[in-house]
């Protein structure tokens, strides 16, 4: 709730209960976010408030950390009564939460597409600048990918497209969100994309989509390793020819066995006919035939022929089953070969069009660590760090252990052993493999790391361990989204609305980081100082966006935000408005050519 004071030419003073939402609104104007969202198509008529304004209000509610949509109007400090925040975000007033809910229900797939386009457009300068900084400082980009659950009540029937899947270490009804982040020299973590999926989606199916999303957002991709892929295709063709030869050989053997079955069947019928002829000529025997009589010999021949026919039939069935196995193998190899040949054609075209290739690293958790995913990322040109999906590999490595092997200490309770260029059955390419051993009390746990790329990880196992576990930045981001921006509470029950909530959550996390750097340049020398290096997103949202401040509006349009005595940030001042300068980051590409800063 806000209060106004104004007298003549004195500054107009407004009290706000959501202090940081004011500068964030002005920053959103600077980067064109508000203008972009004003153009979003929403099939809903305007009444007191525009649909676009209510969509913007939804974003502001997420920025404030509202757990539920109704907190906009019924929370401890209702957002829809804060006039200072509304004006900072270019609105005359905010709508009731029920109106926001109806607007989200009215959104369509076209609305979601437009929202994504606006977010990508305003994010691109920041992304491009961070890509350039990372390439200049480190010589490579570091991506992290993950899949996180969005569970709902297991008895709910009102969430469209929800499905049961593995979330939060249990089976839940809900959705999955595929996330990609970029390691940012300036901001630490910058979200690149989020894609909602049904709850039964598994990580191993999403690796290629994560890579494609990262490349689409940064515009940078490494050269594809087409020579590796070409050699793999050649080996598959050889395997296919061998499988076809085995199939032809077994087909020949089957035909021969079939001929033997026919011959045995004919012999059995002939023996039966001989018995029938003897019975017809001599009549039915009045007593058991003598052991060496013609009838007895004919009956014995029937038994011999029947047993031979049974053996021949069993032999033919074994050959038929054996023949089916090569057919399955041929079908699998044929399908894989077609897939890889199409991939090779696509990669050759990618390399021909890639005028500015860059080195990039992808870090993935164990859910993505299948052999097919590792091979794909290797062929796409990435340096890969991952845990392995299959526990069978870990068990096999443990069987290789000898008492004379020396473990390397890599953490407080962690040790590692490594093998360089190890060829494993599940992956077509040799990998650097690290076996981890964790001591938890009296128990030991094991896991396996895999690496492919130019970095000599075997020289320093501790550095390998630390660098891979640096992917905890995305896990912290997932936790931040759930705990700070309240993504564990789904605020709408339509598929377009759920997709918009996902997009707004990562936009909010990025926007707070971008604005914090910008605001550090606008702060007066006040106490406490505004230090962007100590202002976490959690602190900015939980404290800064939910505390009181006075907004002084000068006649020329400049603003001064002063946190008052009721705020934990008492004494901090930020100058805002027309006098607050903002320089957009320089673009990464000019005329499709990479331009380093």
DSSP string covering 554-593, please? Answer: -TTS-EEEEE-TTSTTTT-EEEEGGG----PPPPSEETTE
**Residue 335: Cβ-neighbour burial (10 angstroms; 0-12, 13-18, 19+):** exposed
DSSP structure string for 421-442: EE--TT-SS-EEEEEEEEEETT
* Beta carbons within 8 Å of 318's beta carbon, 6+ residues apart: none
pLDDT of residue 526: 63
Measured at the CA of 286, the angle between CA 280 and CA 291, to 5 degrees, comes to 85
Helix (H) or strand (E) holding 402: none
For residues 203 and 207, give the distance between their C-alpha atoms in angstroms, rounded to a whole number.
7
pLDDT of residue 573: 83
pLDDT of residue 591: 40
Q: Of 131, 13, 77, nearest to 555 (Cα)?
A: 13
For residues 370 and 203, give the distance between their C-alpha atoms in angstroms, rounded to a whole number.
10
CA contacts within 13 A on the Cβ side of 573: 9
* Beta carbons within 8 Å of 286's beta carbon, 6+ residues apart: none
Token pair listed for 409: 């200490």
How many beta carbons lie within 10 A of that of residue 209, not counting itself?
15
The pLDDT tens digits for 94-145 are 999 999 999 999 999 999 999 999 999 999 999 999 999 999 999 999 999 9
Q: Where are the alpha helices (DSSP H) in 50-184?
A: 51-63, 71-74, 83-88, 97-106, 109-137
* CA dihedral (193, 512, 500, 484) positive or negative: positive
Backbone angles phi, psi at 331, to 5 degrees: -65, -45
Helix (H) or strand (E) holding 276: helix 226-282
Contact at 8 Å (CB) between 174 and 180? no
For residues 202 and 165, give the distance between their C-alpha atoms in angstroms, rounded to a whole number.
8
Q: Mark residue 145 as left, alpha or beta (left: phi above 0; alpha: psi -120 to 50; beta: remaining).
A: beta
- Which regions of the chain are under pLDDT 50? 1-2, 4, 579, 588-597
* Beta carbons within 8 Å of 337's beta carbon, 6+ residues apart: 233, 236, 237, 240
pLDDT of residue 594: 47
How many beta carbons lie within 10 A of that of residue 393, not counting itself?
22
State the pTM of this model. Answer: 0.83
How many beta carbons lie within 10 A of that of residue 179, not counting itself?
24
Q: Where are the alpha helices (DSSP H) in 354-460?
A: 371-379, 391-399
For residues 457 and 432, give the distance between their C-alpha atoms in angstroms, rounded to a whole number.
8
pLDDT of residue 523: 64
Q: Of 510, 156, 221, 556, nearest to 358 (Cα)?
A: 221
The pLDDT tens digits for 367-406 are 888 889 999 999 999 999 999 888 888 999 999 898 888 9
For residues 77 and 54, give the distance between their C-alpha atoms in angstroms, rounded to a whole number.
18
For residues 182 and 597, give the distance between their C-alpha atoms in angstroms, rounded to a whole number.
19
Token pair listed for 258: 């079939």
For residues 349 and 407, give the distance between their C-alpha atoms in angstroms, rounded to a whole number.
45
Contact at 8 Å (CB) between 220 and 131? yes
CA-based R_g, the chain, Å: 35
Q: Mark residue 489 as left, alpha or beta (left: phi above 0; alpha: psi -120 to 50; beta: remaining).
A: beta
* Beta carbons within 8 Å of 142's beta carbon, 6+ residues apart: 134, 182, 183, 360, 361, 363, 470
Strands 383-387 and 360-364: parallel
Contact at 8 Å (CB) between 386 and 364? yes
Structure letter (DSSP) for residue 96: P
**How many secondary structure helices (H) and strands (E) does the chain include?**
16, 17
């Amino acid at each position: 709730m806000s209060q106004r004071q104004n007298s003549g030419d004195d500054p107009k003073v407004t009290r706000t209960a959501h202090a940081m939402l004011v500068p964030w609104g002005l920053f959103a104007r600077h980067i064109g976010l508000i203008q972009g969202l004003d153009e979003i198509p929403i099939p809903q008529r305007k009444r007191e408030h525009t649909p676009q304004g209510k969509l913007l209000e939804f974003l502001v509610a997420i920025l404030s950390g509202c757990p539920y949509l109704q907190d906009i109007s019924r929370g401890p400090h209702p957002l829809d009564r804060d006039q200072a925040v509304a004006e900072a975000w270019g609105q005359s007033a905010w709508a009731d939460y029920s109106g926001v809910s109806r607007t989200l229900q009215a959104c369509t797939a076209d609305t979601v597409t437009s929202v994504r386009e606006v977010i990508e457009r305003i994010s691109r300068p920041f992304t491009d600048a961070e890509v350039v900084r990372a390439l200049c400082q480190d010589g490579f980009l570091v991506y992290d990918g993950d899949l996180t659950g969005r569970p709902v009540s297991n008895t709910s029937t009102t969430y469209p497209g929800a499905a049961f899947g593995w979330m939060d270490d249990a089976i839940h009804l809900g959705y999955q969100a595929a996330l990609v982040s970029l390691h940012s020299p300036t901001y630490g973590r910058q979200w690149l994309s989020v894609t909602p999926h049904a709850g039964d989606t598994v990580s191993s199916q999403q690796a290629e989509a994560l890579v494609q999303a990262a490349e689409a957002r940064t515009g940078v991709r490494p050269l594809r390793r087409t020579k590796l892929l070409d050699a793999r295709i050649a080996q598959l063709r050889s395997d296919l020819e061998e499988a076809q030869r085995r199939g032809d050989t077994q087909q020949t053997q089957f035909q021969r066995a079939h001929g033997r079955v026919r011959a045995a069947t004919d012999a059995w019928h002939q023996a039966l006919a001989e018995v029938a002829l003897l019975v017809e000529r001599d009549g039915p025997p009045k007593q058991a035939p003598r052991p060496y009589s013609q009838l007895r010999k004919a009956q014995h021949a029937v038994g011999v022929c029947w047993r031979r026919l049974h053996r021949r039939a069993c032999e033919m069935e074994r050959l038929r089953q054996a023949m089916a196995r090569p057919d399955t193998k041929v079908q699998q190899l044929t399908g894989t070969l077609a897939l890889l040949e199409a991939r090779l054609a696509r990669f050759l075209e990618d390399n021909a069009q890639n005028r500015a290739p860059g080195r990039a690293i992808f870090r993935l958790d164990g859910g993505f660590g299948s052999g097919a995913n590792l091979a794909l990322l290797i062929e796409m040109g990435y340096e890969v760090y991952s845990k392995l999906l299959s526990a069978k590999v870990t068990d096999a490595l443990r069987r290789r252990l000898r008492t004379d092997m020396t473990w390397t200490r890599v953490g407080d309770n962690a040790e590692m052993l490594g093998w360089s260029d190890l060829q494993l059955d599940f992956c077509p390419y040799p990998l650097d493999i690290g076996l981890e051993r964790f001591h938890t009390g009296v128990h030991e746990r094991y896991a396996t790391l895999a690496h492919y790329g130019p970095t000599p990880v075997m020289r320093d196992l501790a550095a390998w361990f630390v660098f891979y576990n640096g992917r905890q930045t995305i896990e912290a981001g997932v936790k931040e989204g759930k705990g700070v921006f309240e993504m564990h509470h789904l605020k709408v029950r339509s598929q377009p609305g759920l997709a918009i909530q996902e997009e707004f959550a990562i936009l909010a996390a990025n926007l707070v980081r971008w604005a914090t750097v910008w605001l550090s340049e606008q702060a007066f020398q006040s106490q406490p100082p505004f230090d962007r290096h100590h202002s976490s997103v959690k602190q900015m949202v939980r404290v800064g966006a939910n505390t009181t401040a006075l907004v002084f509006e000068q006649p020329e349009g400049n603003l001064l935000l002063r946190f008052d005595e009721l705020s934990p940030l008492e004494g901090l001042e930020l100058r805002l408005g027309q006098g607050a300068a903002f320089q957009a980051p320089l673009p990464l590409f000019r005329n499709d050519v990479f331009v380093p800063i």
